[in-house]
Structure 1
Amino acid sequence: MNNRLRWSYILAGPLLFSLFYFFIPTYVFGSKEANGAVGTVIWMALWWVTCPVDLAVTAFLPIAVNAIFQIADMNAVISNYSSETILLLLGASIMTVSWEVTGVDKRIASLILSCMGPNLRIQVSLWFLMSACLSSILPNAVVCASIIPIAVAMLRFAGEVDIAKSEKASLVLLTIVYGAGVGGLATPLGGAMNLVTVKYIEDITKEEFMYLDWVINFLPIMFFLVVSNIIYLIFQCKKTDTLRGTKDFYLNEYKKLNKATFEEKLVLILFAVATVLSFTRQFYASFLPGLKPAYVFIICAILSFLIVRKNGTRVLVWKVTQQKVVWELIYVFAGGLAVGCMINQSGAANAIGNYMSDLNSDNSFILVATILVFTILLSDITSNTATAAVAIPIVIAVTSGLGKDSIPYVYIAAIGVNLSYMLPTSIRAIPIGYGMLPSYMLKKGIPITVIMLVSLSLLSYISFM
């Protein structure tokens, strides 16, 4: 990027923010603070996609903007930079540094490639299914934090070192994020956004909601989402696209490796313990309520620093580890959470929802499509849970006001709350931190968002109306 173009992007960000904050009438989003929150989203999206500054630098814009314009409570904004999810990502990143130091990454990568094979379409299908299955019962962030480092190790071993310049590597990481988003809809345990939805359903019906009912209701939607997303991802690569090498080549590479050392085994055990404990929290939450997945990963990361080789040297030393931790991943994720907080606290999200409610359409299909547009696009600029908290009450108010049964529309809103494809917020920040370009995510995300909006509007109308 030449310097003139870079500066044009740099200046365009604050100019767009100023346009929203100073010149858009306050009645559009309800207040000057709400205008500023929307302007901040536009500014960050522009800088993340065009990259005139480092991605992590853009992630700190919510703090800078909020300090000057006081759009939201500053404590609420900055708390996103030290949330539980941030600690989870930090712990996972530290532990994957120990993989690189001990050589575990090469061992795992060669084993995966020798089993899956290097064909990119097969890779895409299997990574998607793995991510979707795990996300059906686990928080999406936990799934992505656990699976993406493994995929990155595999890609680097296969020669895809620079993920930003590798279409193949970027597609694999995008696949995992898409799978986590789709899988989250399968059961109420797929994420906090689903539990928020369940709470509102129980408030409406005054009865306990059976989780099996959720699975049954969403079964046709889930089948469509899994098939359509995999087909979309498969068509992003050629039939002949492969990672470097053959299945036999990677099998031979795996066989060439020496017997796993003591420190390798310990590193693997710690990661396995962190993953299993995170995945099985429901079994010990009653007697260890504070041991959440984020803290499990941090504890295991601390233990990684205690591992010593036979020659007496430590596997991890902080001075070296801090240089290898993917800090950009952590800050981009935090920045997305922070700007989402500004959108919600300023009232911008409610204002957007009110525009939806003002439609007052008696046409059920138009109402279904509007709900999906509202929830899917809002999920792209804030967290899925925050979207559920904002969107579900609005959907209930609108449908009740129109004299309609709210429950089917709440189900439809739950679909949109779980899906988002375009911007590096929420779990979509994780592959960005490992090198994927936000412009690549936006480029691939726009077509599938349009496809999902059109197809899900039809399918949801058929399924729930």
Structure 2
Amino acid sequence: MAALAALAHKAWSARRLLVLLLMPLALLPLVFVLPPKEGRCLFVVLLMAVYWCTEALPLAVTALLPIILFPFLGILPSNKVCSQYFLDTNFLFLSGLIMASAIEEWNLHRRIALKVLMFVGVQPARLILGMMVTTSFLSMWLSNTASTAMMLPIASAILKSLFGQKEPPKDLSQEHEENAAAVRRNGLHMVPMEMQFLASTEGRGHAEEAEAQLDLPADPVEEEEYRKNVWKGFLISIPYSASIGGTATLTGTAPNLILLGQLKSFFPQCDVVNFGSWFIFAFPLMVLFLLVGWLWITFLYVGIRLRGWRKKKSELQTHAEDKARAVIQEEFQNLGPTKFAEQAVFILFCAFAVLLFSRDPKFIPGWASFFTPGFISDAVTGVTIVIILFFFPSQRPSLKWWFDFKAPITETEPLLSWKKAQETVPWNIILLLGGGFAMAKGCEESGLSAWIGGQLHPLEHVPPTLAVLLITVVISFFTEFASNTATIIIFLPILAELAIRLRVHPLYLMIPGTVGCSYAFMLPVSTPPNSIAFASGHLLVKDMVRTGLLMNLMGVLLLSLAINTWAQSIFQLGTFPDWVHTHEANITAPPPTLANDTVRTL
């Protein structure tokens, strides 16, 4: 028995290596059972899916497998595979990452966050709202991991001012290491300044904080439960709003860019999705979801208040709120006056957003209409702005310097150095995007997409509205256990073929699938933000499950509402577009139902 237990323990410790070696053997029959080219492509797709879900290899390394397997298996030549790793979509995402690095370099995101918190006030419900609004806004432009890593220490400092040092003790260095490990596991970068914030508030005025503790009413047990609930509400709202905020812009999260890239692969003539049209669709959805999520979290954690607590607001409670307000103001003042570099980055950031939005907003002619059609893309716009970061001076230029021969001669530092960009930009995400695009190209040219479409014929009679609901539910729960990037890479080709089978606009299914894979709220392992919040030690798995289950369901319902209302006019979802026929011409066995031009009513 002991030997069996030891063997099982060894097998578990070597599980990644076992998956890496045994999975190709387990999937090998597909090559012989299915049609030759389709079977070989499905072998690669499922192998990558398993490696992504189990992390037998790092995610970015798994994304490189098509470069080896597609040419060797005769699916795609090397030049077609490698070109997928640097499409213009990758450069759009890269420009967003570089802009985020400049924002973090000059602490512009920190100034924005503290300013919002100063505005909303320090009552728990209002502070949670401020945390959620700030985190979601930052997550639209920064990675959701960096946004969470920044906001959690700020939330901890405010909570300590409200409740004193009564939270469960946790070593600061241990918390920093756990947060950093959670970030590194997902290949993203830390924001070192944010951890310094927590360190700076940890040892500040313990005696004063003890005085500022909220005094307990007659029943200290119930009050202690309330205090824990408020603490949990703060911490759980931050990763959730980071995940929601990332859906609002094309550059906010990788799945949005994968949708754009796979659209260009499957349907080259589709031009209805760009930064502007996506923002018009996704931003109202984000605002609605944030509002509903705030109401739910506030009801669950802050709304359960004691009757005696409501009647009397003690002097110590008032002092605690003043203390929390003072902490926010002090940290804002510590940033000092707004620097020239912050102003420059802010102006370039606004130009980045405005130019991307106005390039081709669809409802009115954009500025790209002044150029040859098809020449200007979102990637051109993004890269144009971020290149300025590498030469624009971080110090205010002065004419006097040129005529003052005694002035020190020093080289002016730009807003962002390439060394800093190398250190902070998560380059592995670019490879992950490329791997997804290569997989989509292989599915299309091997005929696997058409073969999958042929297997979906039992779903032809499913009402499209019900199909959207089912797809979003399945994907949002699937992504609880797998990377959202890997999830959408796997599902998008299937959704494209299913849409053709259902005779509906492909985006009618692909957009809900893309947004739904960011709605992972139930488990600590679902997303890096969830992992970082859970590593604080104040949340239990059951807290995330009971809060996240309803968040998942609310997200599914709101997404279904959005795709059936305002998205219809933005993306022309009520039609079966002509550009679908280009895809039909490229696949080896178009489904027979495509001969029928009847359009399903949404």
User: TM-score scaled by structure 2?
Assistant: 0.51
Structure 1 unpaired stretches of 5+: 132-142, 185-189, 201-214, 397-405, 425-430
- CA separation in 2, counterparts of 1:354 and 1:47? 29
The equivalent residue for 2:441 is 341
Check 1:64–1:114 CA distance in 2 against 1; reply closer, same or farther (3 A cut). farther
Query: How far apart are residue 273 of structure 1 and its match?
Result: 1.0
Question: Residue 367 of structure 2 is aligned with which of 265, 284, 293?
Answer: 284
Task: Please say if residues 111 and 332 of structure 2, whose CA atoms lie closer than 8 Å, have aligned partners that are also in contact.
Answer: yes
Distance 1:231 1:264, change over 3 A: closer
Is 1:107 the counterpart of 2:207 in the alignment? no
Q: Distance in 1 between matches of 2:181 and 2:299?
A: 16
CA separation of 1:416 and 1:457: change in aligned 2, threshold 3 A = closer
* Aligned: 1:239 with 2:301: yes
Matches of 2:337 and 2:21 in 1, distance apart? 56
Identity among equivalent pairs (%): 20
Q: Deviations over 1:167-220 (max 9, x none)?
A: 755433322235569x99xxxxx97999999x99xxxxxxxxxxxxxx9xx9xx
Cα deviation 1:266-319 (Å, max 9, x = unaligned): 122112111110111122011145343222222222111113344644133323
- What does residue 314 of structure 1 align with? 413
Residue from 381, 386, 409 that aligns with 1:301: 386
- Quote how far apart the aligned CAs of 1:104 are: 2.5
CA distance, structure 1, for counterparts of residue 263 and residue 440 of structure 2: 18
Q: Retained in 2: the 8 A contact 1:274–1:297? A: yes
Aligned length: 399
Taking structure 1 as the reference length, what is the TM-score of the superposition?
0.64
CA contact (8 A) 1:114 1:248 kept: no
CA distance in 1, matches of 2:17, 2:295: 33
Cα deviations across residues 44-74 of structure 1 (Å, max 9, x unaligned)? 33244xxx54333233233233243243454
Q: Residue 140 of structure 1 corresponds to which residue in structure 2?
A: none
Structure 1 residue 150, shift from structure 2 partner: 8.1
The aligned residue for residue 31 of structure 1 is 38
Which is greater in Rg? Answer: 2
* Cα distance in structure 2, aligned partners of 1:453 and 1:275: 26
Which amino acid in the other structure matches residue 88 of structure 1? L
Give the 3 Å change call, closer, same or farther, for CA 322–342 of structure 1 in structure 2.
same
Partner of 1:257: 335
The letter of the residue matching 2:113 is A
Contact 2:98-2:425 within 8 A present in 1 as well: yes
Greater helix percent: which structure? Answer: 1
Cα deviations by residue, 1:243-270 (Å, 9 ceiling, x for unpaired): xx94553233223432222222112211
Q: Which amino acid aligns with 2:368?
A: A
Map of 1:394 onto structure 2: 501
1:56–1:173 distance in 2 versus 1, CA, 3 Å: farther
Distance 1:387 1:377, change over 3 A: farther
Aligned partners of 2:425 and 2:297: how far apart in 1? 33
Aligned to 1:40: 47
Is 1:69–2:86 an aligned residue pair? no
Structure 1 residues 16 and 112: CA distance shift in structure 2, 3 A: farther
- Residues 468 and 560 in structure 2, CA contact (< 8 A), matched pair in contact too: no
Distance 2:78 2:291 in 1: 38
What are the residue-to-residue correspondences of 1:27-426 with 2, within 5 Å?
27=34, 31-48=38-55, 52-115=56-119, 121-122=128-129, 126=133, 144-145=140-141, 148=144, 151=147, 154-155=150-151, 158=154, 162=179, 165=182, 168=236, 170-178=239-247, 226=288, 230-231=292-293, 234=296, 239=301, 246=324, 248-282=326-360, 283-288=366-371, 290-310=375-395, 312-315=411-414, 316-358=416-458, 361=461, 369=466, 373=470, 380-382=487-489, 389-396=496-503, 413=509, 416-417=512-513, 419-421=515-517
* Whole-angstrom CA distance in 1 between matches of 2:285 and 2:101: 37
- RMSD after superposition: 5.4
